[in-house]
Amino acid sequence: MSKWINLLFLSFFTAALGEVFFFAFIDPQMLYLFGQPVDWPPMVVYSVGFFMFWCLTALTAGLVVLMAKPGEEVNKEVAVSAGHRPANSA
């Protein structure tokens, strides 16, 4: 549980930095979505942009955590959940 809280906490700061850099160069009044100008107030555009950055950075960090797990550990978890004993247990 602590690992996931740390992941979300760090992705929060990464999203904040991403939003600062993105909106430093992009004016929210000049954005287009599917060929149409975005008619939302700037605060809504900033909020939606922040949550999109947060979701992307959390997804990326979650995939890194998932892929950093050794294959033997993943296979052992699958075997245990399927009701099989791991090969090296007595």
pTM: 0.71
d(CA 45, CA 28): 6
Transcribe 69-87 into DSSP letters.
S-HHHHHHHHHHHTTPPPT
* Amino acid 73: pLDDT: 81
pLDDT of residue 38: 87
Q: Is the pLDDT of residue 89 over 60?
A: no
- Percentage of the chain beyond pLDDT 70 is 93
End-to-end CA distance of the chain, in Å?
Answer: 30
pLDDT score for 88 = 60
SS3 33: strand
Residue 47: CB atoms within 10 A of its CB come to 13
